[in-house]
Amino acid sequence: MNETESNKHSEPEKLDVVSFLNDYLHHFKRLWWVVAVLTVLGALAFYFRVSTSYSPVYVAEATVSVEIVNGEAYSNRNTAEQMGQIFPYILTSGALSDVIASDLGMDSVPGWISVNCIKGTNLLTIDVSSSNANYAYDILQSVLKNYPEVAQFVVGQTALTVIDDSGIPVDTGRTAVLRGSVRRGAVIGCIAGLLLVMLHMATFRTIRSESELRAVVNVPCLGTIPFRQTKKRRKSKGTVINILTDSDRSDYMEAMRLIRTRLERQMADKQILMVTSSISGEGKTTVASNLAISMALKGKRVMLVDCDLRNPSVGGIFGLDENYPGLVSVLRGQTALEDALYEVKDNGEPIGLTLMPGGKKDSNLVEILGSSAMSDLIAELHRRADIVILDTPPSALLVDAMMLVRHVDAVAYVIMSDFARRRYIVKGLEELRASDAPLVGCILNGGHSRTGTYGYYGYRKSKYGYGYGYGYYGSEKHKSSEKERKEAKKQS
């Protein structure tokens, strides 16, 4: 038994060809335009290189029949085939070249001669190439005149009868040469693009499924939120999902309900939850907001606090103006707590969720998150609610989230499917572990849906000046009816 297990461990890991091809196809769909550009550039590069350095080559050709003097047709065909096979050796020996050079009155033959036999016949095609059209034709005529004389020492006395003669050539073959060079350049460029896709696949490793998540990080997965392509609001910098106002929300609500149930099981009697991610753009604010709504619909008193002072955005999900007083003004004593709280309602009825926005964007105030005033504020919010949810900045490259770790009972880590590189994810989790953060699990955002799409949003400049841009989901705002709200609350 032990020996068998030992042998299993010693065996090299087998390559899953299907998974490799699927992964490669996924990266190819993302970088197909790179392959197309390299293919075009390769074709253009070869075209210009050959067109600028091309030397004209004229080709004179003739088709001849070979006959053995007093011979039979069968012997003539055999002789033609033999002559086609032995001609390269005759040419290499220099016998024919010397005869032709002497016939032309030159020291050497100013061109290249080739002979091919048409299989099953006594016909030969003779091609002569030269940079000079007249030379090509003169060499061809000399071959027709002297070839039998040289060949008779090998195959006997023969006679050549010209069937077709091209005359003095006028076409240099430039078009064919350029066409071939363009094809070669396109193939080389395409291969380079495909290799680049493979390199990208090897270096840009992300997490796209729960199985990959379990293999990379030793943290429970609380669930997967499906990806959904929605429209962007006209007067908004981003688009959002709000399960209170989104008319098409069943799959999203079901996923959020499952995550909420697992969170409650993990948290038990813990009341303060922090939601963070590796980098900007993973949708943690959307997840935190809808998780808060889902908990409120179950009948809990929930307090949602926007602690992302570098880019406060929780208020925007609920339609609040950016000038609405928030966390910073309360901590500075500029605004009373009651004035900074916003009670979320659905069709005019409170749902049990209270929001504290972050206020105006200011990256110079992050130290305030670690102050005693912040500690007192969280304690006060805790007394007012059953659960407090803190939406914080990403943890992989910023220290903001670490300042809040000592205030929280649990941390949920949002990972956008096929977005952040694995090293950022691992780094963010390591930073939290180093701060003794009570990690309860990860949430895979924008995961595999029924349509087979992943929630990839692309690389662009981040709000924080690093990494990736925000990948908010979005939809047009829709009013949900009282009946829908009650049904959702009942199902919760």
pLDDT at 485: 43
Q: Which domain CATH number covers 155?
A: 3.30.70.1130
Burial 296-328 (b: 16+ CB within 10 A, else e): bbbebebbbbbbbbbbbbbbbbbebeeebbbbb
Number of domain units in the chain: 3
Q: Are 46 and 87 in the same domain?
A: no
Q: Are 108 and 187 in the same domain?
A: no
d(CA 492, CA 169): 87
Task: For residue 205, name the pLDDT band (cuts at 50, 70, 90).
Answer: confident
Reduced to 3 states, what is the DSSP secondary structure of residue 336? coil
Q: Phi/psi class of residue 465: alpha, beta or left (left: φ > 0; alpha: ψ in -120 to 50)? A: left
According to DSSP, residue 218 is labeled S
**5-19, 202-216, 295-309, 433-447: which range is least confident on average?**
5-19
Q: Is residue 35 part of a domain?
A: yes
Structural contact between residues 468 and 460, judged by C-beta atoms closer than 8 angstroms: yes
Burial 50-65 (b: 16+ CB within 10 A, else e): beeeeeebbbbbbebb
- The residue behind tokens 């409170």 is 350
Q: Are 33 and 81 in the same domain?
A: no
d(CA 85, CA 75): 15
pLDDT beyond 90 at 204: no
Q: Phi/psi class of residue 346: alpha, beta or left (left: φ > 0; alpha: ψ in -120 to 50)? A: beta
> What average pLDDT does this structure show over 447-472?
40
Burial environment of residue 191 by CB neighbours within 10 A (0 to 12, 13 to 18, 19 or more):
middle
Return the half-sphere exposure (C-beta side, CA atoms, 13 A cut-off) of residue 68: 18
Q: Are 458 and 322 in the same domain?
A: yes
Q: Is residue 9 part of a domain?
A: no
Amino acid at position 451, single letter:
T
Q: Is residue 47 part of a domain?
A: yes
Q: Are 307 and 178 in the same domain?
A: no
pLDDT tens digit string along 39-91? 999 999 999 988 888 888 888 899 888 776 655 555 566 666 666 666 656 65
Q: Is residue 1 part of a domain?
A: no
Q: Are 187 and 289 in the same domain?
A: no
Q: Are 45 and 86 in the same domain?
A: no
Structural contact between residues 158 and 67, judged by C-beta atoms closer than 8 angstroms: yes
Q: Is residue 62 part of a domain?
A: yes
Its domain, for residue 40, covers 15-54+174-203
Show which of 165, 192, 218 is a domain's final residue: 165
**60-69, 128-137, 289-298, 309-318: which range is least confident on average?**
60-69
d(CA 439, CA 276): 11
Q: Is residue 8 part of a domain?
A: no
d(CA 355, CA 341): 6
> What average pLDDT does this structure show over 230-234?
46
Rounded to 5 degrees, what are φ and ψ at 280? -70, 145
**20-29, 58-67, 206-215, 476-485: which range is least confident on average?**
476-485
Q: Is residue 10 part of a domain?
A: no
pLDDT at 77: 62
pTM: 0.61
> Quick one: what percent of the chain has pLDDT higher than 90?
21
Q: Are 268 and 362 in the same domain?
A: yes
pLDDT beyond 90 at 301: yes
Q: Are 129 and 97 in the same domain?
A: yes
pLDDT at 92: 55
- The residue behind tokens 């959307």 is 286
d(CA 24, CA 433): 33
**154-163, 253-262, 276-285: which range is least confident on average?**
154-163
Reduced to 3 states, what is the DSSP secondary structure of residue 320? coil
Name the residue among 357, 351, 375, 243 with its Cα closest to residue 301: 351
- Chain-centre distance for alpha carbon 270: 40
3-state per-residue secondary structure call for 99-122? HHHHHHCCCCCCCEEEEEEECCCC
Q: Is residue 477 part of a domain?
A: yes
Q: Are 102 and 245 in the same domain?
A: no
Q: Are 194 and 285 in the same domain?
A: no
Q: Angle formed by the axes of helices 174-203 and 17-53, to 10°?
A: 140
Structural contact between residues 297 and 384, judged by C-beta atoms closer than 8 angstroms: no
**124-128, 137-141, 384-388: which range is least confident on average?**
124-128
What radius of gyration, in Å, describes the C-alpha atoms of the chain?
39
Burial environment of residue 287 by CB neighbours within 10 A (0 to 12, 13 to 18, 19 or more):
buried
Q: Are 363 and 411 in the same domain?
A: yes
**31-35, 197-201, 226-230, 442-446: which range is least confident on average?**
226-230
End-to-end CA distance of the chain: 49
pLDDT beyond 80 at 31: yes
